[in-house]
A and B are shown apart, each in its own frame.
Chain A
């Protein structure tokens, strides 16, 4: 079926004939719409806007929490207090007077924190 332009146009127009809209259907649709509009509008939940005092109080709280964690938190103190284990560390020093190379290490740290 090779369709010419005008045939195709008329076929499309025929296929898209307007769907009938009955008076009853229209009336029903209006009643539904009317009922929906009459429903109390549900406003979307909005977040409470904090007052200036509340915002200031929250800022103070955050600042206090930070200070407390730096100054009083025991976990940091405990972490610093834990014993260190030996690690390999070499130090080189060149003595120009004797033309010698001094090699130090490895260093060890005792439980008391002394280098040995």
Chain B
């Protein structure tokens, strides 16, 4: 017969956080840090920023524990805060412009002609990641929450506080944009191969 205590629920931990119990906050941190960090990293595409976002997210959890409705699951609240904090960072960040020379260098680099399948596979992933990074913020968030966090359209709609139809539309256009971008990259790659 097992005498181990059952894990306290999120609601119970939030109640304790309201009493300024840092151990309870530690419990929630342990449970959700990876999820928050990964979401922020996928949206901002910057691990250092993702760490800051995750920290701010748990600071907000501590500060606003009184306002959290414990009858609802905690995860959507954390996702919403993560998305909002990431948005703040993305909107402040200056858009980095990649020079045409850098793109040409990248396309003509020896790695593009390498027969190594693993390298090609990684490069393809990098291209997809880069293409996701080039999506507008709303589309990127929907893609990350759907494909990385595995959330349904209804759950995403609840997190983003918008109709399901809007989420569907954003996902549709995000996929079309990605398809177009990957097609363009592939075409450029073929041209580069042709010149080599």
Shortest CB–CB separation between residue A13 and chain B, in angstroms? 5
Q: Contacts of A19 on B, CB cut-off 8 Å? A: 37-38, 41-42, 47, 50
Q: List 14 A-B contacts (CB under 8 A).
A: A3-B182, A8-B178, A8-B179, A11-B124, A12-B128, A12-B132, A12-B143, A13-B147, A16-B144, A26-B33, A30-B26, A33-B29, A33-B58, A33-B59
Shortest CB–CB separation between residue B185 and chain A, in angstroms? 8
| A21 CA / B186 CA spacing, docked (Å) | 32
Q: Which size bracket describes the interface of B in this complex?
A: 35 or more
**Known A8-B179, A19-B37, A37-B25; further 20 A-B contacts with Cβ < 8 A:** A1-B182, A1-B183, A1-B186, A2-B183, A3-B179, A3-B182, A8-B182, A15-B126, A16-B144, A18-B38, A18-B148, A19-B42, A19-B50, A26-B30, A26-B33, A26-B34, A29-B33, A32-B55, A37-B22, A37-B59
Residue interface bits A1-43, CB-to-B below 8 A is 1, else 0: 1110100110111111111010001100110111011000000
Residues of B within 8 A of A (CB): 22, 25-26, 29-30, 33-34, 37-38, 41-42, 47, 50-51, 54-55, 58-59, 62, 124-126, 128-129, 132, 143-144, 147-148, 175, 178-179, 182-183, 186
Q: Contacts of B25 on A, CB cut-off 8 Å? A: 37
| A37 CA / B60 CA spacing, docked (Å) | 11
Which A residue sits closest to B62, measured CB to CB? A37
Q: Contacts of B26 on A, CB cut-off 8 Å? A: 30, 34
Residues of A within 8 A of B (CB): 1-3, 5, 8-9, 11-19, 21, 25-26, 29-30, 32-34, 36-37
Complex partner residue of B22 from A5, A11, A34, CB under 8 angstroms:
A34
Which B residue sits closest to A28, measured CB to CB? B51
The answer on a CB contact under 8 Å between A21 and B34 is yes
| A33 CA / B52 CA spacing, docked (Å) | 10
* Closest 3 pairs (CB-CB, A-B): A15-B128, A1-B186, A21-B34
Q: Contacts of B50 on A, CB cut-off 8 Å? A: 19
| A26 CA / B143 CA spacing, docked (Å) | 25
| A61 CA / B97 CA spacing, docked (Å) | 60
Q: Contacts of B175 on A, CB cut-off 8 Å? A: 5, 8, 12
Most chain-A Cβ atoms within 10 A of its Cβ — which of B50, B144, B179?
A: B179
Shortest CB–CB separation between residue B156 and chain A, in angstroms? 14
Q: Contacts of A2 on B, CB cut-off 8 Å? A: 183
Q: Contacts of A1 on B, CB cut-off 8 Å? A: 182-183, 186
Complex partner residue of A14 from B58, B128, B179, CB under 8 angstroms:
B128
